Copies of this chain bind each other. A is one copy, B any other.
């Protein structure tokens, strides 16, 4: 006996051929979570009969979905919804927020050749301090100081990427029962950690500069008898690209000071900060956990993040880091050392900034004016739209071979009506990016049912 399919058969509205309307309806419902990974699709014959279409139409629609990686045929068992990735083979990935690749093979090879001469087996094989070797901490603290962060080496811990820094900051600042205040849309990796910890997450209203002072003041004014912590991305907010002015930052720091609230500042896009604007970590160093990393500024391959903690939190932060890791990677620390001291890091960060401007301009040029695109010179852009329309947009884009981040993943309240679509510009080649943007632009054409 075959299992029944949980999918309620339908065709998407519109004037496209039936196989596209069938594929579109399935893609929409997968994106909306109405059917999920591992769910069976109806048998070809059954579906054709129920929708009054030909079996060949079903075959064509399923083939289209399979080609895009949304469904998978299991021999002898039928057709099933595929795993969580909406990116099929051959698709262009605008879903992952990787920086443009600015390291050349030649540079990497030269670095590893230097490393081969410099790193002896004893240094490599030693258990080092969990927060990194003093020299490595000093170097990343200096790099952060160059970006305006008040980072003494003693308060700066090296981590296995920014995500680990974020997880430690959240664990330290947010005991069970904490209300985590954050932008209504924010980084999915932070929401993941907060939800695993069972925290109450409160999304705050945003404007062009990110979270508004009014929303923050209101949230802090209401006393629910709970500890409150603010998680905020002041520079090149992910996904909306909003960046706080100097005045907004000062107002946020003042409010947090007045209500004695800890701040977790996500500054992984710090290289995109406008000149003269200071991070919260230097406006309120006594209460700010500052999360940074070299993944966006240099390369995700280095797996090197940093956490700057308030002065009285150093010992606990080190203990938490030790409990999760025991020891930092000397190998990756040495590569970082080479790049931070020989000028590679600054050169790569500048190239990434310049390339991000070029990619942002391309997005602004290719997508229609009425789409309301937000770009801010970084390597992600934002298309605000109603949440349901955003789900359909992501599904349709996947069907046309363009992978986007499911918008709900970034929402403090995934059921809120206002969402959008993040378009990551960094991962593909410029040519692929142009091609993908043309496909997205095409989804806005009148007559396309996607924005209905």
A positions within 8 Å CB-CB of B: 96, 98, 101, 103-105, 107-109, 112-113, 115-117, 119-127, 160-164, 167, 176, 189, 192-193, 196, 299-301, 303, 319-320, 322-327, 329-332, 335
Number of copies of this kind of chain in the complex: 2
Interface pairs (10), CB distance under 8 Å? A105-B120, A109-B117, A112-B119, A124-B301, A160-B160, A160-B325, A161-B325, A161-B326, A176-B176, A303-B327
Chain A binding site: helix, strand, loop or mixed by DSSP?
helix
What chain B residues lie within 8 Å of A329 (beta carbons)?
160, 301, 303, 329, 332
B112 lies within 8 A of A116 (CB): yes
B127 lies within 8 A of A101 (CB): no
What chain B residues lie within 8 Å of A120 (beta carbons)?
105, 108
CB distance from A197 to the nearest CB of B (A): 9
Question: How many Å lie between the Cα of A112 and that of B113 in the bound state?
Answer: 7
Of all chain B residues, the one with the shortest Cβ separation from A175 is: B198
Question: How many Å lie between the Cα of A163 and that of B130 in the bound state?
Answer: 11
Known: A116-B116, A121-B101. A167 touches B127 (CB 8 A): no
A323 lies within 8 A of B196 (CB): yes
CB distance from A322 to the nearest CB of B (A): 7
Question: How many Å lie between the Cα of A303 and that of B324 in the bound state?
Answer: 12
What chain B residues lie within 8 Å of A121 (beta carbons)?
101, 103-105, 107-108, 299
What chain B residues lie within 8 Å of A335 (beta carbons)?
331
Question: How many Å lie between the Cα of A192 and that of B325 in the bound state?
Answer: 12
Question: How many Å lie between the Cα of A176 and that of B175 in the bound state?
Answer: 12
Question: How many Å lie between the Cα of A120 and that of B331 in the bound state?
Answer: 17
What chain B residues lie within 8 Å of A113 (beta carbons)?
112-113, 116
Most buried by B among A121, A122, A193, A324: A324
Apart from A101-B121, A196-B319, A329-B329, what 9 extra A-B contacts exist at CB < 8 Å?
A101-B125, A103-B124, A116-B116, A124-B301, A160-B160, A162-B326, A163-B325, A163-B326, A331-B335
B193 lies within 8 A of A323 (CB): yes
Of all chain B residues, the one with the shortest Cβ separation from A320 is: B196
B125 lies within 8 A of A116 (CB): no
Of all chain B residues, the one with the shortest Cβ separation from A293 is: B326
A98 lies within 8 A of B112 (CB): no
Closest 8 CB pairs of A and B: A112-B116, A124-B301, A163-B326, A103-B121, A125-B299, A109-B116, A125-B301, A303-B329
Question: How many Å lie between the Cα of A336 and that of B329 in the bound state?
Answer: 14
